[in-house]
């Protein structure tokens, strides 16, 4: 059974195919009368334009690519991911673009796939949901000059990017603990290839210096991956022997693990500050009165918006790369 084409509509409406095409595009050079007539027929025939034909002829795919990191447990478990995605989805529903997911297990697979969808004209722009050093996919995006925005800060890449100001947040978090009277504060990091870990660390150091507290290399803990369980074990094994009175925990999952361990042993000596993708006041460790709400959904929101701006006037956007910080706020753990 043949699908209904633009010609079927044209014939039944008594106009030319080109006219129907213009009606679909809501072109201003078609009279209201004609539009109405054609639209009626489109409804009757239940016509939907073939997107592939539209794209081939019009060369706009109305689709954005979403680049995920190699499927790692840590990424998928982290609330950051669904939260940003929610923001993206929200922004997308304001326009009629679609999202295409990149896939692939290995880096090589992922590069192949992204090449295919970019060079194959399936997507008009790319959103990277992670930022690591020397990422081959990002390199490809730059050389192929497709509008791209990175959620996070991949060094000095020549792309748009949107992120929290992690250096400042690291500072704020640390200073908050200092104000609360902490004097021996550890920094719990994680994967040192992730820029936000490094940036928050910078802020942490600044805060110590600014408050004349000694900075010591062994206050920094990075020897574990990004899973909550690692945080839990870290808290059980390492931290409690180190006599810390404060912890700045850069990763959300790790923070959950640590805070759980501390709560279980009713440890209220060690205060913590952590960063959460969004507000979820459930997680109310004994050890934390405030946390930093990163508003990660806004990252997704802005990423889409920036891409649209870039798409709207490619030339202008090539001139300069937008580096935008989304504001985060310190939020009390309990509302009362």
- Contacts with DNA, residue ranges (CB under 7 A): 2-7, 14-19, 21-22, 24-25, 28-31, 33-34, 47, 49-50, 53-54, 56-59
Q: Which does 113 bind (CB under 5 to 8 A by kind): a copy of itself, DNA, none?
A: a copy of itself
Q: Which does 181 bind (CB under 5 to 8 A by kind): a copy of itself, DNA, none?
A: none
Number of amino acids touching a copy of itself (CB under 8 A): 59
CB neighbour list of residue 62: distance below 8 Å, 6 or more residues apart: 51, 55, 96, 97, 98, 124
Q: Which of residues 133-172 bind a copy of itself (CB under 8 A)?
A: none
Nearer of residues 19 and 61 to a copy of itself, judged by Cβ = 61
Q: What is the DSSP letter of 327?
A: P
Q: Which among 156-164, 194-202, 222-230, 234-242 is the span making contact with a copy of itself, rule CB under 8 A?
A: 222-230
Q: What is the DSSP letter of 282?
A: T
CB neighbour list of residue 144: distance below 8 Å, 6 or more residues apart: 118, 119
Q: Is 327 a binder of a copy of itself (CB under 8 A)?
A: no
Q: Is 332 helix (H, G, I), strand (E, B) or coil?
A: strand
Q: Which of residues 67-126 bind a copy of itself (CB under 8 A)?
A: 68, 71, 73, 76-77, 79, 81-83, 85-86, 89-90, 92-93, 96, 98-101, 103-105, 109, 113, 115-117, 119-122
CB-based burial, 244-265: b 16+ in 10 Å, e otherwise: bebbbbbbbbbbbbbbbbbbee
CB neighbour list of residue 174: distance below 8 Å, 6 or more residues apart: 185, 203, 204, 206, 207, 208, 248, 273
213: left (phi over 0), alpha (psi -120 to 50) or beta: beta
| Chain positions contacting a copy of itself, by CB under 8 A | 3, 48-56, 61, 63, 66, 68, 71, 73, 76-77, 79, 81-83, 85-86, 89-90, 92-93, 96, 98-101, 103-105, 109, 113, 115-117, 119-122, 227-229, 232, 256-257, 260, 263-264, 280-284
């Amino acid at each position: 059974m043949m699908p209904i084409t633009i010609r079927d509509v044209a014939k039944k409406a008594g106009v030319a195919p080109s006219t129907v095409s213009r009606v679909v595009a809501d072109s201003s050079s078609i009279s209201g009368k004609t539009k109405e007539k054609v639209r009626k027929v489109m409804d009757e025939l239940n016509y939907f334009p073939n997107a592939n034909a539209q794209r081939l002829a019009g060369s706009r795919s109305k689709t954005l690519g979403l680049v995920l990191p190699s499927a790692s447990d840590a990424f998928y478990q982290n609330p950051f991911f669904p939260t940003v995605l929610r923001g993206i989805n929200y922004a997308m529903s304001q326009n009629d673009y679609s999202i295409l997911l990149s896939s692939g297990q290995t880096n090589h697979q992922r590069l192949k796939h992204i090449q295919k969808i970019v060079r194959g004209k399936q997507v008009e722009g790319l959103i990277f949901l992670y930022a690591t050093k020397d990422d081959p996919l990002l390199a490809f995006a730059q050389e192929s000059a497709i509008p791209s925005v990175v959620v996070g800060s991949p060094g000095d890449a020549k792309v748009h990017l949107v992120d929290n100001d992690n250096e400042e947040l690291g500072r704020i978090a640390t200073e908050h603990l200092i104000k609360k009277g902490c004097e021996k504060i550890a920094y719990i990091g994680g994967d040192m290839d992730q820029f936000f870990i490094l940036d928050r660390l910078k802020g942490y150091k600044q805060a110590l210096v600014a408050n004349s507290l000694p900075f010591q290399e062994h206050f920094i803990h990075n020897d574990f991956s990004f899973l909550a369980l690692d945080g839990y074990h870290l808290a059980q094994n390492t931290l409690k022997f180190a006599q810390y009175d404060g912890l700045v925990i850069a990763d959300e999952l790790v923070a959950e693990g640590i805070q759980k361990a501390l709560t279980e042993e009713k440890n209220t000596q060690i205060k913590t500050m952590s960063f959460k993708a969004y507000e979820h006041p459930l997680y109310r460790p004994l050890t934390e009165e405030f946390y930093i709400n990163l508003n990660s959904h806004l990252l997704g929101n802005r990423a889409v918006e920036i891409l649209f701006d870039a798409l709207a006037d490619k030339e202008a956007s090539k001139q300069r790369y937008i580096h935008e910080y989304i504001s985060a706020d310190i939020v009390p753990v309990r509302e009362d």
